[in-house]
Amino acid sequence: MTSQSRPQAALEEFLTELHSVYENWYDRQTRKAYRRYMVLQAVALLSGFLSAVIAAVADAQTFVPWGKTLLIVLPLLGSLAGTILLQSRTYDTWQLREEGRFQFQGLVGSGRLRAAAATSDEEFSKIHEELHRRAQEIEEKQSLSFFGLYPSNYVASFGKPPQKGHNSERPSQPSAAPPRDGE
């Protein structure tokens, strides 16, 4: 038999899950978004710089076999990288996942501090419930924010120009519910 009570053991198990599953997932997603952002930024910047250098140093003899191809491909790669950066909202995704990582890191840290100070089963249960509620709030906020980055008509919206007087960023909301029959 262990010296821990059931609520204390459940809280410690939940804290381990918050760290090993949630905090670590946000950490991996943050690193992936950071790498994607840096690679795309480097490609966008270097392709423009290399195009200018090639155009400046190429002479008539060396330009013919490879210069024209590079002066077409490099700006194309830079434009593609820039477009992917902007359209995929890479920086915003990186920032969002970093906020989630930071929030879960704080949640685990405060949970461990509070668990160390708890002395009764009621306190352990109360801490567990509060941490569970806060974890759900973080996940809900992350979900809403992530899907707020990409509207449901994300692909279809590229073909339609915005209408005059219409905010294309957010759908309009009715100011009040329509009247029911008989009102």
Tokens of 12: 């410690």
Q: What residue ranges of the chain have pLDDT lower than 70?
A: 1-4, 62-65, 150-183
CA atoms within 13 A on the CB side of 66: 5
Using alpha carbons, select from 96, 89, 79, 105 the residue that is nearest to residue 20.
105
d(CA 9, CA 115): 10
Report the largest interatomic distance among the alpha carbons of the chain, rounded to a whole angstrom: 86
pLDDT of residue 76: 92
| pLDDT score for 67 | 74
CB 16 within 8 A of CB 90: no
Q: 111 to each of 85, 89, 180, how far by Cα in Å?
A: 37, 33, 49
Q: How far apart are CA 165 and CA 78, in angstroms?
A: 34
pLDDT at 123: 93
Cα-based distances in Å from 8 to 17, 53, 85, 132: 14, 65, 46, 14
Cα distance between residue 79 and residue 72, in whole Å: 11
Q: Which two tokens stand for residue 42?
A: 């480097």
- pLDDT tens digits for 35-58? 999 999 999 999 999 888 888 877
128: left (phi over 0), alpha (psi -120 to 50) or beta: alpha
pTM, entire model: 0.67
